[in-house]
Every structure is written in C-alpha cells, then in structure tokens.
Amino acid sequence: MPHIKVVGLGGSLKPGSASVLALKEALRGAEEAGAHIELFELHALDLPMFVPDRAPPESVQRFVDSVSTAAAMIWSSPVYHGSMSGAFKNALDWLELLSKHSPPYLTDKVIGLIATAGGVQGLQAINAMEFAVRSLRGYTHPLTAPLDRAWQLFDQSGQFSDEATLVRLRTLGKGVAEAAKKMAVLG
C-alpha cells in the first residue's frame, strides 16, 4: 500500500476547542493506519476573508499547498446556527486556489467529517460540509462523526471521557486513511 498524507482542518477561532480535540483523535487514527498527518487549526491559521483574485498570504499558501499534496482530509467544525462555522467555510473558500491544479480542487481525495455541537444539530453541519465536499469534487467517507452535546464528552482536563466517541473518531481517521490508500492504488 502507498504511503499517504492526511490533512486535518478544523477547530474554531478559540484555541483548544472541542472540534480541534475531536480532530486530533481522528488524526491519531489515521496515523495509526500508517498515514502521515498534518494539522491546520483555524485559530492558528488566522486566515483573512477570501476575496477572489487576491494574492494569498503565506499562511493560506502553505495550507493550500499542503492540501494539494494530500490524499485525504479530515474536517472538523463547530456547529454554529445549524451549520459549519463561518471561519471554517472561509478556509474552504480559499481552496478555490486549487481550481487550476490538475486535477482541480479535491478531485479523488477522501474527506472525513466531524461536527461538534453544543446542542443536537451536529448532523446538519455534517450535511452542509458534505455538500461542500461534493462541490470541491471530493469523496465523503461514509462514517461521519456528528458529536451532539460535545461539552459532555470531555473531562475537566479536556480529555475525552466518552470511550465510544473516542473509538468512533479513531475509526473515522483509520477509515479515511485506508480509503485514501485504496484510491491511490486505483489511480
């Protein structure tokens, strides 16, 4: 099987968010499956708003270059008003820079999806992210992780206290890596 790279994108503009903690666990699963992983946290990227035809700053170019060489991605967004956050969507908008690549956008990349909700609307954000994956010509991994009431899944130190969720996230990461390896062999 080929060696592949999985890029994680997520979090919120708040450091240490539940969506970043969930993403790190999924990336751990991808790494355990033999993938090289790279994490991009939204708060650290500090992306400007996407403006078409604007020259991208270095942080954007580094992010886009990494995505272009990845076989797969795992996305993790907090749920704001029933959908992915505006900051997360802005990061996806910067992937427009991949439009002239060959192949363009996220063609033939496997994308795993995680949404962390304070309430019970995690699946709505997963659905919105899945539409974005299709628009960018990627493939959504069939196992997703809508984490409702995410604040209940962690202990006081910020570690997962729910073993079933931890297993689900690592299984998602492993599945994304394994699917990307199979796609690479077929391609």
At position 144, the amino acid (one-letter code) is T
Q: What mean pLDDT do residues 123-140 have?
A: 96
Q: In angstroms, rounded to a whole number, what is the distance separating the alpha carbons of residues 111 and 10?
A: 13
CA end-to-end distance (rounded Å), the chain: 12
DSSP symbols for 31-84: HHTT-EEEEEEHHHH-PPPP-TTPPPPHHHHHHHHHHHH-SEEEEEEEEETTEE
What's domain 5-186's architecture? 3-Layer(aba) Sandwich (3.40)
Q: What is the pLDDT of residue 37?
A: 98
- Residue 46, pLDDT > 70, answer yes
Which pLDDT score is estimated for 149? 87
Q: Of all residues in the chain, what percent are helix, strand and coil, respectively (each to 5)?
A: 45, 20, 35
Segment 25-46 shows an average pLDDT of: 96
